[in-house]
Structure 1
Amino acid sequence: MTIRTIVTIVEETLRDGDRDVAPAARVAIVAAVLRNPWYGQGFVEDLAPGIAANASALGALLAPRVVDALGAPVEAYGKAAIVGLGGEVEHGSALIHTLTFGDHLRTLTGASSLLPAVEKRAPAAASFDIPLKHITDQTIRSHHQSVEVRLADAPAEDEIVIALAVASTGRPHARLAPFSTES
């Protein structure tokens, strides 16, 4: 695995809807820009060797960094794979849609729910939204949110951006009724 860059972003919302947010709502993102392990090989039928060589190592690298960057207990999480134009969406999906990738973050956070994802092909500087859901109960509406990310120089044609995002709370001032109240 060849990593060119690791980017860490921390966002704190202190005020929203004309009201203070206390404690601040924190979101952290850690993204690795790596060379696509399947780039230049044409159509690769069996992605398993590349998955085995990279997915767990990526999860082990990114999970502790994003949890540390948040600096608070994790309540929501999500992931992303943005593939440069010389690759396939399947290349990014192969790296993030494995237990060997996601279980690193689940273990660190005590999470049990599905780790929501976004994946797409895009040129460098494309924006993408990482969906976030509660770490143990996807029906908790307050934690359904997303965080926008854009890396000015990635992904290049032969790269993939793999990112994890975590949040310390749900949306600021969330006040929608629980799913269970709807008929």
Structure 2
Amino acid sequence: MNVRKIVTFVEEIHSEGGNAVRPAARTAVVLAVIENPWAGEGFVDDLAPLIDKVAPELGALLAPRVVEALGAPVEAYGKAAIVGLDGEIEHGSALIHTLKFGDHFRTAANATTLLPAVEKRAPAGTVFDIPLKHVTDATTRSHHQTVEARVADAPRADEIVVGLAAAAQGRPQARLAPLSSEQ
């Protein structure tokens, strides 16, 4: 795996809707800009060999970094892959939609639910939203949220941006009734 750079964002929201948020709502995103391992190969029918090689290494790199950046227990989490214009969306999906990648984050976050994801092909500097869900109960509405990320110079045409996002809580000032109230 060839990593060009790692970018970390941490956000704290102290006020929402004109009201103080105490404690501050904290989110973290860690993005790795990597060389697309299938770049220049043309159409590759069997992605498995490079999935087996790259995905575990990438998960092991990102999971502890996002947990450390958050600096609190993870309550909501998500993942993303943005493929440069010379790649296929399937290249990003191949890296993030495998337990070899996601289980690193599940373990680090003491999580049991599937990681929500976004993947697409886009030019460098594209803004993307990473969806987050509760780590043990995907029906917990307060934790359905998104965090925005962008790397100004990535992905280049032959790169993939792979990221993990975490939140220490649900949305600031969340007040929707539980999903069970509608059933």
TM-score normalised according to structure 1 size: 0.99
Residue aligning to 1:88: 88
Displacement of 1:108 in angstroms is 1.1
Cα distance, 1:128 vs structure 2: 0.4
Unaligned runs of 5+ in 2: none
- Counterparts of 2:173 and 2:85 in 1: how far apart (Å)? 39
Give per-residue Cα distances to partners, 1:100-134, cap 9 Å, x unaligned.
10000111111000100000000000010000000
Aligned AA (1:39): A
User: What is the SS of the residue equivalent to 1:6?
Assistant: strand
Q: Distance in 2 between matches of 1:91 and 1:105?
A: 20
Aligned to 1:166: 166
Q: Determine the C-alpha separation between the residues in 1 that align with 2:50 and 2:130.
A: 24
For 1:73 and 1:45, the matched residues in 2 are separated by: 40
Q: Counterpart in 1 of 2:62?
A: 62
In structure 2, what is the equivalent of residue 127 of structure 1? 127
Aligned: 1:108 with 2:122:
no
User: Which runs of structure 2 are paired with 1:26-65 in the superposition (5 Å)?
Assistant: 26-65=26-65
Q: Which amino acid aligns with 1:53?
A: K
Moved over 3 A (4+): none
Q: Alpha carbon RMSD of aligned pairs, Å?
A: 0.5
Q: Read off the aligned partner of 1:149 and give its amino acid letter.
A: A
* Secondary structure in structure 1 of the residue aligned to 2:177: coil
For 1:51-105, what per-residue CA distance to the aligned partner results, in whole angstroms no more than 9, with x for missing partners? 0110000000000000000001100000000000000000000000000100001
> For each residue in 1:127-146, what CA deviation from the matched residue of structure 2 results, as whole angstroms up to 9, or x when unmatched?
10000000000000000000
- 2:136 pairs with 1:136: yes
What number of residue pairs does the alignment pair up? 183
Instruction: Tell me which residue corresponds to 1:99.
Output: 99
Matched, 1:16 2:16: yes
Aligned residue for 2:4, secondary structure, equals strand
- Whole-angstrom distance in 2 between the partners of 1:122 and 1:135: 28
Aligned to 2:5: 5
Matched, 1:182 2:171: no
AA matched with 1:29: V
Q: Which amino acid aligns with 2:80?
A: A
Which whole-Å CA distance do the structure 2 matches of 1:164 and 1:105 have between them?
8
- Stretches of structure 1 that go unaligned for 5 or more consecutive residues are none
Question: What is the CA–CA distance in structure 1 between the aligned matches of 2:169 and 2:23, rounded to whole Å?
Answer: 9
What's the secondary structure of 2:23's corresponding residue?
strand
CA distance in 1, matches of 2:118, 2:179: 23
Identical columns (%): 69
